[in-house]
């Protein structure tokens, strides 16, 4: 069985394949999400750190639930998924204005930076892929691996790295 963990990167998509039987990890960069999916046709799970299934006009229940389980201060690591109607805005200013007009909330700069990746994943998904491509949030994964305890240290610190590695 093969499981793929995926995150966006400057060159496209970083995929780390885990072969369960062999116990091996294999990293690889793919230029497009569709190419990544084609490279792993037999993977039982493709877990991607990108919002999937966007809602118009209201926060997603999964984002609220993720914030709830992480608690403060880690809840802020789950940023609101954008309204899909703002994803094609050419500039951050346009996206923020459109979002504010639609839902009364501007978009974050962090969110705007990954709009192309969000579009790419959501366009690539088909009903057939929904059984094996899943949205994941790293901090929720670490919470689960730690027995329902959020990480104590920021991910960019040495302590945070060691905590997540453990």
Segment 147-166 shows an average pLDDT of: 93
Residues 6 or more apart in contact with residue 153 via CB below 8 angstroms: 159, 160, 163
Instruction: Region of 75 please: left (phi>0), alpha (psi -120 to 50) or beta.
Output: alpha
Record the pTM: 0.88
Three-class SS state of 15: strand
Residue 70: what pLDDT?
A: 93
- Inter-residue contact 79 to 112 (CB < 8 Å): no
Q: Give tens-digit pLDDT for 107-127.
A: 999 899 999 999 999 999 999
Q: Give tens-digit pLDDT for 20-59.
A: 999 999 999 999 999 999 999 999 999 999 999 998 988 8
Q: Is the pLDDT of residue 8 over 90?
A: yes
The torsion angle over the Cα atoms of residues 36, 95, 86 and 136, rounded to 10 degrees, is 40
Measured CA to CA in angstroms, residue 159 lies from 6, 77, 135, 150, 162 at distances of: 24, 17, 26, 14, 5
Cα atoms in the Cβ-side hemisphere of radius 13 Å centred on 152: 5
Q: Give tens-digit pLDDT for 52-106.
A: 999 898 889 999 999 999 998 888 888 889 999 999 999 999 999 999 999 999 9
């Amino acid at each position: 069985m093969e499981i793929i963990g995926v995150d966006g990167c400057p060159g496209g998509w970083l995929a780390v394949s885990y072969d369960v039987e062999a116990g091996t990890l294999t990293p690889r960069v793919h230029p497009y999400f569709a190419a990544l999916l084609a490279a792993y046709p037999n993977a039982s799970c493709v877990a991607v750190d990108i919002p999937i299934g966007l809602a118009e006009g209201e926060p997603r229940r999964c984002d609220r639930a993720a914030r709830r389980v992480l608690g403060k201060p880690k809840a802020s690591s789950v940023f609101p998924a954008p309204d899909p109607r703002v994803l094609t805005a050419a500039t951050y200013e346009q996206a923020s204005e459109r979002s504010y007009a639609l839902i009364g909330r501007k978009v974050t700069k962090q969110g705007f930076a990954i709009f192309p990746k969000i579009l790419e994943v959501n366009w690539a998904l088909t009903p057939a892929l929904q059984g094996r491509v899943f949205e994941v949030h790293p901090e929720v994964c670490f919470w689960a691996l730690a027995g329902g305890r959020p990480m104590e240290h920021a991910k960019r610190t040495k302590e945070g790295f060691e905590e997540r590695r453990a």
